[in-house]
Structure 1
Amino acid sequence: MANKKILITGKNGQLGRELQIRCPIGIEVVALNRNELDVSNSHAVQKVIREVRPDIIINTAAYTAVDRAEQEPEIAYTINSKGAENLARECKKLDIRFIHVSTDFVFDGKKSTPYTVNDQVVPLGVYGASKAEAEAVIQELLSDAIIVRTSWVYAAHGNNFVNTMLRLMSEREQLGVVADQVGTPTWTGTLAEILYRLAEKQDAVGIYHCTDLGVASWYDFAVAIFEEAKLHGLLPQEKKLVINAIATSDYPTPAERPAYSVLDKSRLLSELGIELKNWRESLKQAFSTKAELH
């Protein structure tokens, strides 16, 4: 993939930042934030893409405030769906490869076995519906686009469950964490590496699922965060904390979440010929990075 130029949208998001950190040798990355490229503005998209002239666009720009989306549906759709459409249209005109990041929230979580790339999308809320609409629009416009669905994404930096938990764990002696929603925590380090591998694979096309391996509830994830934080010196060894498993009904939110979000990664693994790490192993790696930054 040497001498390729990749345009990354949403450069200040946790995945956008990770893609910049993990850029392969020989790749020129142009990463832009919303002020530099507002994907919902078709004229801005046209102007910027024609100036940059990338070989590939990786779209990580998104409205991800799941609960707020219920009150701000227009904004969510404008960024997530219209933004993706604007990028896809320009990619079609200029023959640019398009890689779009999507979400487990396109599913309703009613299954009890991992969701495959061919399962029907049935979003529960505005956020998931806006991302599902983006997928449909992209596939209609670009037969060779790549869509990568992921779940429960976190990084050493940024706003995410891990950093929220660390803050609460340092402040409190007791926490209640939902135990009846199940999925797979996914480190941005894993996701960034896979996105670059897919960019390199010339015949990659269509929908892929990418998460770390294994299954966890939010409660399991929180317990692991607490253990790893103490091991990596991010919380004091003597810190005592009671983590209580609670039901979704005990913690009502404006947006309904899928109860089961595990994604089937068999297509990704077979086509790339790779092995992924268990989510717990990735969490260790993320905490090692975080401890170095601390």
Structure 2
Amino acid sequence: MKRGWKQFSVLPGFSISLGFTLLYLSILVLLPLSAVFLKTATMGWEAFWSTITDQRVLASYRLSFGAAFAAALINVVFGLLVAWVLVRYSFPGKRVIDGLVDLPFALPTAVAGIALTAIYSENGVVGHYLQTIGVKVAFTPLGVIVALTFIGLPFVVRTVQPVLEDVDRHVEEAAASLGATRWQTFRRVILPELYPALLTGFALALARALGEYGSVVFISGNMPMYTEITPLLIMSKLEQFDYAGATALAVVMLLASFVMLLFINIIQWRTGHRRTAKGG
């Protein structure tokens, strides 16, 4: 039977619903992004290229994308560990810890930045002890990674947690009864089930870290060519009324983020396609 565009749904009015959806997305997403590109187009190619290839800007690219990628990888490892503990174990205070995972969602980013700076500065509770072993966090690129890890952890935990809850433990027991070690059971039984969720959590944490400003601006120290992130440069250009220059940097960040997320989505699609083919 030939399938058409319209399919059964408990909510009637396909055309009206689709129209409102497209209108909503156009107003909130397409129009602002179009304005960014249109404003950048007023610069001219030479001015645009000079703006986005400035040495100070290139240094901010390296820090922004490098720190965001490193923080997302860290969150994949420790986010999986946190989700595993919350799903597989029962202990006093579990609900409290489960609620604390969402704290970076609710906490204002400026408050998070001030708190992290106070903790990891040379006179801070943690930073004082790290300083004795030669590790400096605040006002270094390491501090940027710490801040991005803090704000990105909930994305991985909340993405992996429901998937882990649905993993059948009988499969793990069967693998153990067949002689598989714990590592083999995790790598060949559990990890393939969690891989799509981990990749999704990584993509969400990466996207969140690329656009983060409030929590980073305090702990980084904003030193040009060292701890200055691209969103800070965009804000600086806006304060100088250089709107075209700000949108030029925004376009670079937007296109780079789109390419990275598209690549991750392609990997997700290929993984899901292979699993479907094997299951079929």
Q: Structure 1 length normalisation: TM-score?
A: 0.20
Q: Which of 1 and 2 has greater Rg?
A: 2
TM-score by length of 2: 0.20
Richer in strand (by share): 1
